[in-house]
């Protein structure tokens, strides 16, 4: 699509050069608004580039009803934003940038380049053609007494290099609080809270958890547990996990992280149940364990007959020791039951800075239907700084793009209706 034909007459500051902010900037620029994007980092899309190092998972191909059910929080506003800019629209947008997408075997959608950098470069060229300006190394510090935006270019944040900016509208797309070295540290929460904006506490999401492993088991740090099923309460996630020196992480763990986090907050810990052989019944496992061993050790039986890795066998020893028993004391039926239901006690989520994403943020009841903050007319919010969370698999980026588009459109419409900032 070509740049807007009419010269811009209104100005907007977009704070945050991630997917939500850049999408808001594109929508605004197409609406004839002069846009400047500010970011505390030296360049745009730092977290997007990091996320794309192993293959940029843009969105997911599943049915939209099922897709929307993946989100926690956000309610009707988030749903309407994703419906207005659904996965099909995101794929079409990427195609227009010359970044054709494909659907993997898991249903996840990726650019064919399997990287974020080609897409980001093409996007920045488009934004440049639309007249969008960028100001990097600008750390947002709130508003001055006249309602102007305050930035500092001084990393010590002592106020000596403050810059003030007057804009007709502002879109905040400051990210959550994960990966702070890439620019999103959640520092905006206190600023907005002081302005009367409702903020849900920020918390780690899609994160690992601390486990008080014994010292002998810690030798398995870095080892995967493959083709397992994790259950907490009535919810089960299949996939993989990885043992760390002081805990457990990985895709299957991340899928259960909201439930685990909330349980730990309520009662101090949470017991996760691991099925090491989800495709076998207890009876089938017990039958293999009851077969003549021919002088094989139990470790060899677990490895050869049940295809359990050393880390999985170690986890069984860990569970038996926690129960005050030796694994060799279990009969076939009891050991089969343990293999199908290994209890692991989680004591805390890993720090939010190490999480893939964060929960909490600007409450949706603090926004109007156009994603404008009710307490701050002319100020809009989008992306991960809003109070929603989602699993990995394309849902995170999809909501960032969709809410960025919604906030950009909301700001465009507001400028057309209101004329100038208050």
Q: Please choose, from the candidates 231, 206, 244, the residue with its C-alpha nearest in 3D space to the C-alpha of residue 388.
A: 206
Span 91-107, average pLDDT? 96
Start-to-end C-alpha separation, the chain: 32
Q: Beta 348-349 vs 235-244: how paired, if at all?
A: unpaired
Span 409-414, average pLDDT? 97
Cα–Cα distance for residue pair 194/198, rounded to 1 Å: 9
Cα–Cα distance for residue pair 227/238, rounded to 1 Å: 7
Cα–Cα distance for residue pair 29/131, rounded to 1 Å: 7
Encoding tokens for residue 64?
């939209």
Cα–Cα distance for residue pair 252/255, rounded to 1 Å: 5
Give the rounded percent of residues in the chain with a pLDDT score beyond 70. Answer: 95
Encoding tokens for residue 260?
């685990």
Confidence of residue 158 (pLDDT cuts 50, 70, 90): low
For residues 117 and 130, the answer to whether their CB atoms sit within 8 Å is no
Total residues found in the chain within this entry? 422
For residues 212 and 60, the answer to whether their CB atoms sit within 8 Å is no
Tell me the CATH class for 10-205+352-418.
alpha beta
Average pLDDT, the chain: 94
Distance of CA 87 to the CA centre of its chain: 17
For residue 276, the 8-state DSSP code is S
8 contacts: CB under 8 Å, gap ≥ 6: 29, 32, 33, 34, 131
Q: Could you give phi then psi for residue 197, rounded to 5 degrees?
A: -80, 130
Encoding tokens for residue 286?
């017990």
Confidence of residue 419 (pLDDT cuts 50, 70, 90): low
Listing DSSP states for 316-352 in one string gives HHHHHHHTT--GGGS-HHHHHHHHH-EEEEE-EEPPG
Encoding tokens for residue 224?
């995967």
> CA Rg, the chain, in Å?
25
Domain spans of the chain, in order of start: 10-205+352-418, 209-349
Cα–Cα distance for residue pair 188/6, rounded to 1 Å: 34
Q: Tell me: pLDDT of 211 over 80.
A: yes
7 contacts: CB under 8 Å, gap ≥ 6: 32
Cα–Cα distance for residue pair 397/57, rounded to 1 Å: 8
pLDDT tens digits, residue range 214-266?
999 999 999 999 999 999 999 999 999 999 999 999 999 999 999 999 999 99
Stated as kind and residue range, the H or E segment containing 381 is strand 379-381
pLDDT tens digits, residue range 349-383?
999 999 999 999 999 999 999 999 999 999 999 99
For residue 211, the 8-state DSSP code is -
């Amino acid at each position: 699509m070509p740049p807007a034909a009419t010269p811009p007459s209104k100005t907007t500051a977009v704070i945050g050069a991630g997917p939500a902010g850049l999408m808001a900037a594109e929508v605004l620029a197409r609406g004839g608004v002069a846009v400047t994007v500010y970011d505390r980092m030296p360049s745009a899309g730092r977290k997007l580039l990091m996320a794309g190092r192993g293959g940029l998972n843009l969105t997911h191909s599943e049915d939209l009803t099922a897709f929307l059910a993946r989100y926690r929080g956000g309610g009707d506003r988030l749903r309407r934003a994703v419906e207005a800019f659904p996965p099909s629209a995101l794929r079409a947008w990427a195609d227009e940038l010359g970044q054709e997408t494909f659907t993997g075997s898991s249903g996840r959608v990726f650019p064919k380049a399997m990287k974020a950098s080609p897409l980001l470069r093409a996007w920045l060229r488009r934004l440049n053609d639309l007249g969008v300006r960028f100001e990097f190394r600008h750390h947002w510090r709130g508003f001055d007494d006249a309602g102007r935006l305050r930035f500092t270019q001084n990393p010590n944040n002592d106020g000596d290099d403050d810059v003030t900016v007057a804009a007709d509208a502002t879109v905040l797309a400051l990210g959550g609080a994960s990966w702070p070295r890439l620019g999103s540290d959640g520092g905006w929460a206190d600023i907005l809270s002081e302005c009367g904006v409702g903020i849900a506490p920020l918390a780690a999401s899609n994160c690992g958890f601390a486990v008080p492993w014994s010292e002998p088991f810690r030798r398995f740090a870095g080892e995967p547990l493959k083709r397992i099923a994790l259950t907490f309460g009535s919810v089960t996630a299949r996939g993989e996990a990885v043992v760390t020196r002081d805990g457990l992480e990985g895709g299957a763990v991340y899928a259960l992280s909201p439930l685990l986090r909330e349980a730990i907050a309520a009662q101090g810990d949470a017991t996760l149940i691991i099925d090491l052989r989800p495709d076998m019944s207890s009876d089938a496992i017990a039958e293999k364990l009851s077969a003549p061993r021919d002088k094989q050790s139990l470790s060899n039986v677990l490895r050869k007959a049940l295809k359990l890795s050393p880390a999985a066998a170690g986890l069984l020893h860990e569970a038996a020791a926690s129960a005050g028993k030796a694994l060799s004391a279990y009969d076939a039926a009891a050991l089969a039951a343990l293999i199908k239901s290994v209890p692991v006690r989680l004591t805390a989520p890993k720090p939010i800075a190490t999480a893939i994403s964060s929960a909490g943020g600007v409450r949706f009841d603090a926004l109007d239907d156009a994603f404008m903050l009710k307490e701050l007319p002319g100020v809009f919010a989008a992306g991960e700084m809003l109070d929603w969370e989602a699993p990995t698999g394309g849902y995170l980026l999809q909501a960032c793009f969709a809410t960025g588009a919604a906030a950009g459109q909301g700001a465009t419409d507001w400028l057309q209706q209101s004329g100038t900032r208050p």
